[in-house]
Amino acid sequence: MSLGYFLKRLLMLVPLILVISFIAFCLVRVAPGGPFDKERAPASPDIERNLKAKYHLDDPLWKQYLRFIGIGFEGGLIRGDFGPSLKYRNHSVNDIITQGLPVSLVLGFVSFGFSLGVGIPLGIWTALRRGGWQDHLGSFISILAVCIPAFVLGPILIVLLGIKWPIFPVGLWGGPWHIILPAITLGTYFAGKVARLTREGMSQAMQQDFITTARAKGVSEKSIVFRHALREGILPVVTYSGPLLADLMVGSFVVENLFQIPGIGVFLVNSSINRDYTMVVGLVILYSVLLLILNLFVDVVYGFLDKRVKYG
């Protein structure tokens, strides 16, 4: 992948993010109800008017959007400022993100590692034993993993390994011991998916002519599998990594909720129910940016693995 193409893709992100921010901004504003409807004590009209004035919710919409973007106003999206949260009054959206995001990222990457570490070996194993009982067993395990979502596996693991045999802590976020159950819960589904993709890719790669050539040249079986076939057989997994990371983030809503992990995933659902406008828009943009960048990264990796691919 040429540097020019990479920079072009990077530049494309800017208008894309503006469009996304506009859509998200319009969506939350179309909704009936406001951020101050669900206060514990209903505010008097005066107080509500003052609150609205403080957060500039009484301005016309286009002015609010410009303020949010930061054109002609202090702060704003272009300076990396998502504004104040309307529900957690003394915090800005940036505060909440800087607190929660590292936790979510750690959880996400450990689960990602788990799903690749389990899925790829399982996929290779079943592909090499194609048609044998190992293949059937492995394929059954991977299809079973795909059919057990995090919100099913999580409670079962909590009941078995947290309550019945208290080996692991069932909640909160402390040492590395706390990561294990959530990471397994989140990663199992993707491990199944990765295993299925690896099996498909590997069994196709093993039938290619260059494998026959390598065999004829007397290359050892181990080297054939890991140095020749794997390079091509892994490509479906690389292609899938983009959507995988997206689903991983979404899955983290459930897992963070189940294990009471102070990540960022919990906030999206709550804020959009509470009409915390700035928070919802901020999180939607955050997730989109993360994913777009990760996808770009996946494309770079793909280009390195498969030299036949030409971008641009």
Partner 1 sequence: MAEVVSSNNIQKSQLGESLNRRAWLRFRANLPAMLASVFLISLIMISLCWPFVSSLGDQHSDAQFNPPSDQYWFGTDVHGRDLFGRVLAGTRISLLVGLVGALVSLVIGVLWGATAGLLGGRWDNWMMRTVDVLYSLPSIIFVIVIITTLEGVIQGWVESVFAGDGSDAARHVLLYAGLGAVSWLTMSRIVRGQVLALREQQFVEAARSLGLGTWTILWRHILPNVFGVVIVYLTLTLPAIVLYESFLSYLGLGIQPPQASLGSLIAEGAAQINPVRVYWWMIFFPAIGLAALLMALNFVGDGLRDVFDPKSTNER
Give the interface with partner 1 as residue ranges (CB under 8 A).
16, 20, 24, 27-28, 30-33, 143-144, 146-149, 151-152, 154-156, 158-159, 163-164, 203-204, 207, 242-243, 246-247, 249-250, 253-254, 257-258, 268-269, 272-273, 280, 283-284, 287-288, 291-292, 295
C-alpha–C-alpha distance, residues 59 and 255, integer Å:
39
The torsion angles phi and psi of 232, rounded to 5 degrees, stand at -90, -35
Q: 207 or 212: whose CB is closer to partner 1?
A: 207
Q: 110 or 158: whose CB is closer to partner 1?
A: 158
Exposure string for 63-93, b = 16+ CB within 10 A, e = fewer: ebbebbbbeeeebbbeeebbbbbbbbeeebb
Report the nearest approach of partner 1 to the CB of residue 295 (Å).
4
Q: 48 or 247: whose CB is closer to partner 1?
A: 247
C-alpha–C-alpha distance, residues 89 and 68, integer Å:
17
Q: 94 or 204: whose CB is closer to partner 1?
A: 204
Q: 92 or 274: whose CB is closer to partner 1?
A: 274
C-alpha–C-alpha distance, residues 309 and 312, integer Å:
10
Report the nearest approach of partner 1 to the CB of residue 17 (Å).
11
Exposure string for 198-236, b = 16+ CB within 10 A, e = fewer: bbebbbebbeeeebeebeeeeeeeeebbeebbbebbbbb
* Residues 263 and 186 sit within 8 Å (Cβ to Cβ): no
If we measure between CA atoms, which residue out of 289, 114, 78, 115 comes closest to residue 195?
A: 115
Task: Indicate the helix (H) or strand (E) that contains 73.
Answer: none
DSSP designation for 92:
B
Report the nearest approach of partner 1 to the CB of residue 222 (Å).
23
Report the nearest approach of partner 1 to the CB of residue 114 (Å).
20
Q: 103 or 284: whose CB is closer to partner 1?
A: 284
Report the nearest approach of partner 1 to the CB of residue 138 (Å).
14
Report the nearest approach of partner 1 to the CB of residue 200 (Å).
8
Report the nearest approach of partner 1 to the CB of residue 219 (Å).
23
Q: 116 or 258: whose CB is closer to partner 1?
A: 258
C-alpha–C-alpha distance, residues 290 and 2, integer Å:
22
